[in-house]
Structure 1
Amino acid sequence: MATHVHLVSHEGVYQEIEARQHRLTADEPLNNHGTDRGPAPYELLLASLAACSSATLRLYADRKGWTLGTITADLTFSRDKDGNEKIERVIGFSEKLTEEQMGRIRDIIEKTPVTKTLKRGTPITTRFE
């Protein structure tokens, strides 16, 4: 599996991104040299993790015949004064699950593709043209 995005930046930190036929933007808030015309890169990272988490849990629950109802995800990225970074992920369901179901959900969320990518620290190579 390969995934690709294309980015164009004409000026400042405003970014135009293409992912397949979809158009996205990224920017920084006004207080961080941006124009606030799109989410910041770390917000996009959190959105990717949230979307993957929700989609994976929904697919798993559907396969099991479980009803999750509405899924909510609240994610926060933080960095302490020593430079240590962490992501806090809070997931909610509008339907009540059994403790056994929640046990499986806790296992599955740690195995979602984006979770695994972030936790293992994927190598990044860069070349300039």
Structure 2
Amino acid sequence: MSEEQPIVTRVHASLGEVDYAVNLQAGRHHLVSDEPPSHGGAHAGPGPFSLLLSGLAACTAITLRMYAKHKGWNLTAVDVEAKLTRQGTQSHIDRSISLQGELDAAQTARLLEVSEKTPATLTLKGGIGIKTTLKQPGVA
């Protein structure tokens, strides 16, 4: 008998009659994801990989702010840029971080170390299993 794992978050995606425009419900937030016209979409929202990178960038910025706040450091702004590249079946993310505030070299170095240990970073670096099941229409 296995113990049920706690749910960290849940998202519902719904694709109707409009090609590639996916309505997303993440908690109380509504988002749209779509493909650019070059891939048959209408560019109604960011594409799936952009959403993936957005999660990583947001988690990085939030974690660094939380850490600096906990330490009482003067971190006034964090900017994170993430870029996904793919070659064949290999994917790679390049992330650059800009920190603003009155930080010394040791604080900046520590924040860079912390960026490598954010929850989203560790999840992506560790790999993640995906189990897919088919729900029958009308069945809860």
Does 2:85 align with 1:78?
yes
Query: How large is the RMSD of aligned CA atoms in angstroms?
Result: 1.1
Instruction: Note the C-alpha offset of 1:97.
Output: 2.0
Which sections of structure 2, spanning at least 5 residues, go unmatched? 1-5, 136-140
User: Could you say which residue in structure 1 is the equivalent of 2:41?
Assistant: 34
Structure 1 residue 98 corresponds to structure 2 residue 104 = yes
Match of 1:15 among 6, 22, 29: 22
Which of 111, 123, 126 aligns to 2:129? It is 123
Identity of aligned residues (%): 38
For these two proteins, the number of residue pairs brought into alignment is 128
Structure 1 stretches of 4+ moved >2 Å: none
TM-score (norm 1): 0.94
Structure with a larger share of its residues in strand: 2
Give the superposition deviation at 1:63.
0.4
The Cα shift of 1:111 comes to 0.7
Larger Rg: 2
Counterpart amino acid of residue 9 in structure 1: L
AA aligned to 1:69 is: T
Where 2:75 maps in the other structure, the secondary structure is coil
